[in-house]
Chain A
Amino acid sequence: MPTYKNILSNRYTLSRSWTMEVAEKAGAYQQARIALTTLAPERVKSEVEAANIRGRGGAGFPAGMKWGFLPPAKEGQDVYLVINADEGEPGTFKDRTLMEKDPHRLLEGCIIAMHAIGAHKCFIYVRCELELAIARLEQGVRDCQARGYLGARPFGKDWAMDIVIHPGAGAYICGEETSLLNSLEGKRGEPRLKPPFPAVKGAFGMPTIVNNVETIAAVPDVLAMGGAAWSAISLLPPEMKDGGTRLYGISGHVKRPGVYEAPVGITLRELIDDFGGGMLHPDRPLKGVIPGGSSTPVLRAEDKVHAPDPKSPLHRWHGKSHLDVPMGVDTMRGIGTMLGTCCAIVMDSSVSMVDAARNLMKFYAHESCGQCTPCREGTGWLANVLDQICAGRGKAADVDLLVDISNNMMGNTICALADGTAMPMLAFVRKFRKEFLEVAEKGLPSGARLDGAIRAQLVGKEAA
């Protein structure tokens, strides 16, 4: 197994890594100082552009390009930086490690990004359940103010900067960037119609850059290494413009679930076997893996890449298992799923895929904000049909009903939650159709909802 360098996470293992003293001794704020005292904003932007950072929040949009969408600065118009720290996509738990273990990396990234985009103020929108993350970020901001890294003259520069830690209040939809902006403004977190995009009209009506925690936390190292060198860490071919190193999460049925850092472009098999330590129970093979949070369609080991055309970007992996394709924004799209948040959920042969789908669809039904009829009705209906099927009250035709409902949800809604529900639903049915038909006719097999081995482990381990 190759060893990869920890860059984003290189301070995680230091004792009390979240404190200013420890972080600073290990290099924090050196790049912010250099940027604010010697680099023009345009220079910072061009390094970020050269780094080919694809947004780490799920959509994979190039960060450099997003920053370029800001309209030219106007007198009397503020620009805001907003950090999306709402981390709520089921299966996703990577941003939390950055905020808890190295809040100063995020804060330093914010300072540099504010300098680059011409903002005086940054809001970090953190889901309120993450109390430890909030406490450490707030302490970090106070330490920055005390040291003069924030305030009226950060690093002596005549450009006031302030960072506000803003708590959410428990709503998955607030991770969607326009919903997040409404929530930040003190409103119900209902997504806004786009356009206008946040870069033109965002927080408080002003041009706003919304980026994920990990996207911005990468910025100090982009400056330290230079954008091109940082981009080249990626194992993907350079023409894919998907650069750098990133945090991967792995949960479910593996021996060592957790967050790991590796270059962009490792394979799911590496993530499961090398990082995750392999399947939890040796006698239970992998059945399905959700590659990047619950909105990304499930993959199976037995499915192969089909790209016979030499001009296809996936041709070099033609005939290989989906698990052996390097993970990137475009490669995952090429095999009918999405990279998403890069946090995989691994399910072994004991899991009923119908019950797994039911679990997720109930989540979306609960979290749909209800503004758009296809989403509000569709998510509720999917959950309902799956409930009926699992309870043994289904019929074969319900399986096609799931497909019809999903098809009717896509394309016609204000935000991407509806597509993010329908796409994984369709993949579950397409890839596990036989199982869906069986459950629709006979109900869930007995024991499907309670895993005996896991139960014994939880109940017996320390009591024995």
Chain B
Amino acid sequence: MAFTLSAEQEKLVDQILARYPVLQAACIPVLHLCQKQVGWVSPEVIDYVASRVGLSTSQVQGVVTFYTMFHQRPPGRHTIWVCRTLSCEVRGAKTIQEHLERRLGCHAGETSADGAFTLKKAECLAGCGYAPMVQIDDTFHENLTVAKLDAILDRIARGEAATQDETPWYPHAPAP
């Protein structure tokens, strides 16, 4: 079945296309917009984007495979990215990942049996000073403990939104 957007979103695509001197530059933003609709970049999405930005499907495919944030298979209803790069690692990222694997019953790179969560390892997400941290869908969760993470996942399981806390900022002051 061909991929379609609502009339309203088609207008949004037109606006995105108009932002650039060449159509092709809209490729990544339009891919994001489509992925937000269906959760992943399906072959139909690739056909649609190719026709909208004036590229061949293999060109769009080449773009999609270059970047890690495009899902090339349908993920679970939510995706959890655990940062495992050095700053997070030395502050216990492995403990966070192991807890998630136990709770979700799946390994990194897999989706939980109920289809609710896909668990992935991430590279540095620019939250290094607030480690350990995870990204859940489009929200960051920082300064985690196992209990704090469980509370967030419980909220999501109840169908509530996982809201992002404002990142702490310590104004310049002598250490306590």
Interface 0/1 of A49-88, CB less than 8 Å to B: 0000000000000000000000000000010000000011
CB distance from A457 to the nearest CB of B (A): 7
Q: How far is the CA of A56 from the CA of B94 in the complex (A)?
A: 31
- Which residues of B are found within 8 Å of A87, using beta-carbon distances? 126
Q: Does A308 touch B at the CB level, under 8 Å? A: no
- Which residues of B are found within 8 Å of A186, using beta-carbon distances? 22, 24-28, 53, 55, 63
Which of chain B's residues 3-54 have a Cβ closer than 8 Å to chain A? 19-22, 24-29, 31-32, 53
Interface 0/1 of B116-131, CB less than 8 Å to A: 0000000111111111
Q: Does A188 touch B at the CB level, under 8 Å? A: yes
Pick from B22, B29, B124, B167: contact of A97, CB below 8 A.
B167
Could you tell me if B128 and A90 are in contact, using CB atoms closer than 8 angstroms?
yes
Question: Which one of B107-115, B140-148, B153-161 contacts A?
Answer: B140-148
Pick from A78, A90, A455, A463: contact of B124, CB below 8 A.
A90
A256 in contact with B139 given A91-B124, A169-B69 (CB within 8 Å) = no
Could you tell me if B145 and A461 are in contact, using CB atoms closer than 8 angstroms?
yes
Q: How far is the CA of A40 from the CA of B77 in the complex (A)?
A: 54
Q: Does A347 touch B at the CB level, under 8 Å? A: yes
- Which residues of A are found within 8 Å of B66, using beta-carbon distances? 169, 171, 188-190
Which of chain A's residues 285-313 have a Cβ closer than 8 Å to chain B? 290, 294
Could you tell me if A257 and B95 are in contact, using CB atoms closer than 8 angstroms?
no
Q: Does A166 touch B at the CB level, under 8 Å? A: yes
Q: Does B135 touch A at the CB level, under 8 Å? A: yes
Q: How far is the CA of A184 from the CA of B114 in the complex (A)?
A: 38
CB distance from B92 to the nearest CB of A (A): 4
- Which residues of A are found within 8 Å of B139, using beta-carbon distances? 131-132
Pick from A4, A78, A131, A359: contact of B172, CB below 8 A.
A4
Pick from B95, B129, B166: contact of A249, CB below 8 A.
B129
Q: Does A185 touch B at the CB level, under 8 Å? A: yes
Q: How far is the CA of A18 from the CA of B3 in the complex (A)?
A: 37
Tell me the nearest residue of chain B to A164, going by C-beta.
B19
Could you tell me if B129 and A129 are in contact, using CB atoms closer than 8 angstroms?
no
Could you tell me if B164 and A129 are in contact, using CB atoms closer than 8 angstroms?
no
Most chain A beta carbons < 10 A, residue from B68, B87, B174: B87
Could you tell me if A258 and B25 are in contact, using CB atoms closer than 8 angstroms?
no
Could you tell me if B147 and A257 are in contact, using CB atoms closer than 8 angstroms?
no
Could you tell me if A167 and B169 are in contact, using CB atoms closer than 8 angstroms?
no
Question: Which one of A6-14, A27-35, A395-403 contacts B?
Answer: A6-14
Could you tell me if B22 and A204 are in contact, using CB atoms closer than 8 angstroms?
yes
* Number of A residues, CB within 8 Å of B: 84
Q: How far is the CA of A343 from the CA of B171 in the complex (A)?
A: 17
Tell me the nearest residue of chain A to B68, going by C-beta.
A170
Q: How far is the CA of A189 from the CA of B29 in the complex (A)?
A: 14
Could you tell me if A360 and B86 are in contact, using CB atoms closer than 8 angstroms?
yes
CB distance from A448 to the nearest CB of B (A): 11
Tell me the nearest residue of chain B to A277, going by C-beta.
B175
The main secondary structure of chain B at its interface with chain A is loop
Q: Does B101 touch A at the CB level, under 8 Å? A: no
Q: Does A367 touch B at the CB level, under 8 Å? A: yes
Could you tell me if B95 and A88 are in contact, using CB atoms closer than 8 angstroms?
no
Could you tell me if A257 and B126 are in contact, using CB atoms closer than 8 angstroms?
no
A258 in contact with B94 given A91-B86, A345-B86 (CB within 8 Å) = no
CB distance from A215 to the nearest CB of B (A): 17
Could you tell me if A262 and B67 are in contact, using CB atoms closer than 8 angstroms?
no
Q: Does A259 touch B at the CB level, under 8 Å? A: yes
Q: How far is the CA of A92 from the CA of B131 in the complex (A)?
A: 12
Could you tell me if B28 and A93 are in contact, using CB atoms closer than 8 angstroms?
no
Which of chain A's residues 1-28 have a Cβ closer than 8 Å to chain B? 1, 3-4, 6, 9, 12-13
CB distance from B121 to the nearest CB of A (A): 10
A454 in contact with B147 given A3-B172, A12-B169 (CB within 8 Å) = no
CB distance from A80 to the nearest CB of B (A): 9
Could you tell me if A458 and B95 are in contact, using CB atoms closer than 8 angstroms?
yes
A451 in contact with B19 given A169-B31, A274-B175 (CB within 8 Å) = no
- Which residues of A are found within 8 Å of B128, using beta-carbon distances? 90-93, 249, 251, 257, 343, 345
Could you tell me if B170 and A458 are in contact, using CB atoms closer than 8 angstroms?
no
CB distance from A327 to the nearest CB of B (A): 16
CB distance from B30 to the nearest CB of A (A): 9
CB distance from A97 to the nearest CB of B (A): 7
Which of chain A's residues 98-149 have a Cβ closer than 8 Å to chain B? 100-101, 127-132
Interface 0/1 of B78-106, CB less than 8 Å to A: 00010011110111101110010000000
Could you tell me if B170 and A258 are in contact, using CB atoms closer than 8 angstroms?
yes
- Which residues of B are found within 8 Å of A1, using beta-carbon distances? 174
Q: Does A260 touch B at the CB level, under 8 Å? A: yes
Given contacts A87-B126, A261-B172, 5 further A-B contacts (CB under 8 A): A4-B172, A93-B126, A276-B175, A367-B123, A454-B90
Residues on B facing A (Cβ under 8 Å):
19-22, 24-29, 31-32, 53, 55, 62-63, 66-70, 81, 84-87, 89-92, 94-96, 99, 123-132, 135, 138-140, 144-148, 164, 166-172, 174-176
CB pairs A–B below 8 angstroms (19 shown): A78-B21, A91-B87, A92-B124, A128-B32, A129-B125, A164-B20, A168-B28, A168-B69, A184-B25, A204-B22, A204-B25, A251-B131, A255-B175, A258-B129, A258-B130, A275-B175, A343-B128, A458-B92, A458-B145
